[in-house]
Amino acid sequence: MKDLLTDANFPRTADLRVYHLGLRPGEVANRIVTVGSPSRAQMIASFLDERPKPFQLQSERGFLTITGRYQGTPISVISIGMGSPNMDFFVREARECLSGDMYIVRLGSCGCLIDAPVGTVVVPKACVAVVRNVDFDYADPTNCDEPAYRISKPVFGDSELHLQVTKALEEARPKDSSNMILSDVVNASADSFYSSQGRQTSFPDANENLIQHLLDTVKDLATLEMETHHLYHLAACWGRSSTAQTTQPPPLATGPVNPSTEDTPASQSTPIAQLARPDTSIKASAAQMVFASRTSRDFITPEQVKEMEHWTGKAILDALKCMNIPSERHHPEQGSVWERQ
């Protein structure tokens, strides 16, 4: 970190860049595809229009944002890495850089607990969280009456976006493809790829029966991954409370600020207080490609990944483009990186 940051509550640079994503208002669009890996983000961004030239920012903390237009519609593709904490950085910091509504679709990978082959695409209608209980005595399980893992109640994605994502995937699926698309299912987001997903490693994780327990207790459960629950959770919470909305812009730094990006025309004129208003909405959905079958123990090949990311990525862009956002609920185009030249 080399920029001077102010306000310990929500750190920003003097030119309004948020701490971890490195973005400022005008660099992130209302429609966002979020993915785990930079290569998936670049592949999806290859579908963006040539003009205006897509803006690209790799933050020091590894978040990659690419913003441009898809068939004329402003869209950002943001790669966040892995886990709920990174999803939290992304949703909160992008929200504070943007006025109007947010439509977010995660295109991720997952493991499948039901009898569906690798290459299946799952659009979860809801998610539960699976969290390792650190108060459980893993070294001496007989000495503890706590459960080793906690399973949350389900939280639902946005039903309209869910339908649109499913429809776009069905339309984009190659004609000769045998990939199934499942949408009436539930996903579990775990806080580890290993212990909370029932994988056996050299650590004592008390997870031998976890997958069966999940299948027995979570209705319609099909998949395991690591971020979608937190996305759905934050989207569902948004706008329910009027607290914690800033009325004053954060104090500006007095010292020199050196953003690690090339100069962009992004606007600094929108007061912070008018950006993340509670009367806006956050609508979230997800599509997850089955990379691992936990029943057959198959794992997807690199060739299959490449082919799947191509058509599913295009489908998510199509789905987001189809979502109607009234013009007054958009971030202003003037001064943004998607402004038409």
Q: Which stretch binds ligand URA (CB under 6 A): 109-117, 271-279, 309-317, 319-327?
A: 109-117
Q: Is 82 in the site for ligand R1P (CB under 6 A)?
A: yes
| CA–CA separation, 111 and 274 (whole Å) | 40
Min CB(40)–ligand URA separation in Å? 13
Binding site partner of 292, from ligand URA, ligand R1P, none, Cβ cut-off 5-8 A by kind: ligand URA
* 226 lies in the binding site for ligand URA (CB under 6 A): yes
- Helix, coil or strand: residue 12: strand
Contact partner, 77, from ligand R1P, ligand URA, none, Cβ < 5-8 Å per class:
none
Give the one entry of ligand R1P, ligand URA, none that residue 102 binds, where binding means its C-beta sits below a cut-off of 5 to 8 angstroms depending on kind. Answer: none
Here's the x/- map for ligand R1P, 220-259, by CB under 6 A: it reads as -----xxx--------------------------------
Cβ atoms of 30 and 98 within 8 Å: the answer is yes
User: Which of 30, 89, 34, 4 shows the shortest CA–CA distance to 260?
Assistant: 4
* List 59, 65, 79, 109, residue binding ligand URA (CB under 6 A): 109
Rounded Cα–Cα distance for residues 166 and 285 (Å): 10
Q: CA distances (Å), 167 to each of 70, 122, 239, 299, in order?
A: 18, 12, 28, 26
93 is an interface residue for ligand R1P by CB under 6 A: no
Q: Which of 10, 193, 194, 311 binds ligand R1P (CB under 6 A)?
A: 193
Query: Which distant-in-sequence residues (6+ apart) come within 8 Å of 228 by Cβ?
Result: 106, 108, 124, 127, 187, 189, 286, 288
Q: In whole angstroms, what is the distance from residue 21 CA to residue 116 CA? A: 36
Rounded distance between C-alpha atoms, residue 211 and residue 209, angstroms: 6
Whether the CB-CB separation of 17 and 259 falls below 8 Å is answered with yes
Burial (0-12, 13-18, 19+ Cβ within 10 Å), 330: middle
Least distance (Å) between residue 169 CB and ligand URA = 18
User: Three-class SS of residue 327?
Assistant: helix
Give which of ligand R1P, ligand URA, none residue 227 binds (C-beta under 5 to 8 Å, depending on kind). Answer: ligand R1P
| CB closer to ligand URA out of 10 and 193 | 193
Which one, 37 or 42, has the nearer CB to ligand R1P? 37
**Nearer to ligand URA by C-beta: 96 or 309?**
309
**Number of amino acids touching ligand R1P (CB under 6 A):** 10
Helices (H), the chain: 38-45, 84-95, 159-172, 210-217, 228-237, 302-322
Question: Among residues 281, 278, 253, 244, which one has the least CA distance to residue 17?
Answer: 253
Residue 111 touches which of ligand R1P, ligand URA, none (Cβ within 5-8 Å per kind): ligand URA
Q: How far is the C-alpha of 35 from the C-alpha of 97, rounded, in Å?
A: 19
The rounded distance, in Å, linking the Cα atoms of 218 and 211 is 10
Length of the chain: 341
Specify the residue, 19 or 232, whose C-beta has the smaller distance to ligand URA: 232
Nearer to ligand R1P, 96 or 309 (CB): 309
Determine, following the binding rule CB under 6 A, whether residue 285 of this chain makes contact with ligand R1P: no
Q: Is residue 111 part of the contact set for ligand R1P (CB under 6 A)?
A: no
- CB under 5 to 8 A by kind: which of ligand URA, ligand R1P, none does 36 bind? ligand R1P
Please report, as ranges, the residues that interact with ligand URA according to CB under 6 A.
109-111, 193, 197, 224-226, 291-292
Binding region for ligand R1P (CB under 6 A): 35-37, 82, 108-109, 193, 225-227
